[in-house]
A and B are shown apart, each in its own frame.
Chain A
Amino acid sequence: MQCPKCHANMRTFDRMGVHIEQCDGCRGVFLDYGELESITRLEAQMQAPPPVAAPPPAAYPQPAQPAWGAAPQQIHHHHGGHAAPYGYGHRKKHGLAGLFFSS
C-alpha cells in the first residue's frame, strides 16, 4: 500500500492487536475502519487500575489504647509482617497466652 499523502511505501505494524499502516517516508499513520476505536479502548484500559485477583482480607484498624495502656511497640501485632521485631512468634512466649484462659 502507498501513502495517500507522499506516495511512499507503507508498512503494516501490529500494536497490541491493532493493525496500523505507517509510511516509510513521512511517518504518517493510516488506520482502517474501527482501529481508532480499538486504540481508544486500549488507552482507557491502560489508565484503569490493574484488576485485583481477590480483595485483600479485611484488616481491622489498630484499636485504641487507654492513656495507661502499653506503649505501641509493646503491642504484639503481626499484620505488619513476620520480620517485625514483635512478630507472630512473640505472641506465644512467656506463656502469657495462659492469661487468656485463667480466672
Chain B
Amino acid sequence: MRVDDLIAAMASLTGSSATPEVLGGDRGDVVVVRVGDVVAKAHPADTDVEALRQRVEIAAAHPELLLPPLKPLQFVDDRPVTVWPYGTPVSQADPDTAPWEESAELLAKLHALPVQGPVAGTPERIVRAIRALPPELPHADVVLRAFEVLPPLDTNGRALIHGDWHLGQLVHRGAWRLIDVDDLGVGDPVWDLARPAALFAAGVLPGDLWARFLNAYRETGGVALPTMEWEALNIPAQAYVVQMAARALVSGLQAVEPLVEACRRIATTHESSDRG
C-alpha cells in the first residue's frame, strides 16, 4: 500500500473531515497522522498485534495516567492502527519549564499499578538500536566497545512500565498524560528513569532538572530506586548512553560528543574493574 493511500485510510478511521497532517516526519515504519482533534498511528507491519491490543486496553483502563484511545485497535489492510485524541506536546524551547515533576509522578503511579500486560519493549529495543549501528561510522568503535563491556541487561519484570520514556512521550490534554504504548508492559521500572539518568551522567541534563525528576519520583512513592539511586541505575543508564550515542551517530541530527565521551568512560570503568 502506498503511503498516501495509508494516510487517506487512517484519516477516514478518525471520522474527521479535516485535512490530514503527518506528524513527526518520516519515521520509517511508523506513520502518525493528525486529523483535526484526532491522531491516528500506523504501527510497524511486524508489530505483535495481540501485545499491542493489550497495551491499548491498558491505556483505556488508566486514563488518569495514559492518554486513553478513542477506539480499540484498528487495521488498514494488515497494518495495525491506533486512534487517539490530539494533545499538546511538551515545548522543546526551555527544558526548565518542562513537566519534569509531572512526568515523574505519572511514572511512579504507573509503576504502582498491578503488574499486567505483555513484556515491556525495553531493554530489547535498546539492544536493537545499538545493533543497528554501522561499525564503520566515525566513533562507532568507541560506542560498540562500551556496549561490549556491559553485563547482560536485566529483563526482570516486576512492574508495569512505559518502556520508552522521554519528554516527547507526554502530551497535555486537560492534564499531562503519557503517550506511545508501543513498549508498555511488564519490566524493571528502573528503565523508565534510566534515560534521564544517562543524560545527567553524560553531562547533558542539568543536575537541578535531574534532581527535580528524581525527587518527584521518590515523593510519589516510586518503587524503582533504592536509597542510593545509582545502585539500580548504573547499568541501565550506561545502556541508554550507548543507545543514544548509536542513534545520534546514525541520525547525525544531534551533538554526539558528550555521549561518545561517556561511552569512553563506561568502557574504562568496566575495563579497570575487570582487571581489579
Contacts and interface: CB of A to CB of B under 8 A. Distances in A.
Interface in A68-83: 68-71, 74-79
Interface stretch (A1-9, A25-33, A37-45, A55-63): A55-63
Contacts of A66: 201, 230, 233-234, 237
B218 to A, nearest CB: 11
A60 B164 contact: no
> In the complex, which of the residues B92, B247, B261 has the most CB atoms of chain A within 10 Å of its own CB atom?
B92
Nearest to A76: B206
A98 B233 contact: no
A64 B253 CA distance: 29
Interface stretch (B10-18, B132-140, B262-270): B262-270
B167 interface: yes
What is the predominant secondary structure among interface residues of chain B facing chain A? helix
B219 to A, nearest CB: 12
Chain B interface residue count: which class? Answer: 35 or more
A60 B211 contact: yes
A100 B205 contact: yes
Contacts of A95: 253-255
B3 interface: no
Chain A interface residue count: which class? Answer: 20 to 34
Interface of B: 90, 92, 94-96, 98, 164, 166-168, 196, 199-208, 210-212, 214-215, 228-230, 233-234, 237-238, 244, 247-248, 253-255, 258, 261-262, 265-266, 268-269
26 contacts: A60-B211, A60-B215, A64-B228, A65-B200, A66-B230, A66-B237, A68-B262, A68-B269, A69-B202, A70-B202, A70-B203, A70-B258, A70-B262, A74-B258, A75-B200, A75-B206, A78-B206, A79-B208, A92-B95, A95-B254, A95-B255, A99-B244, A100-B199, A102-B166, A103-B168, A103-B247
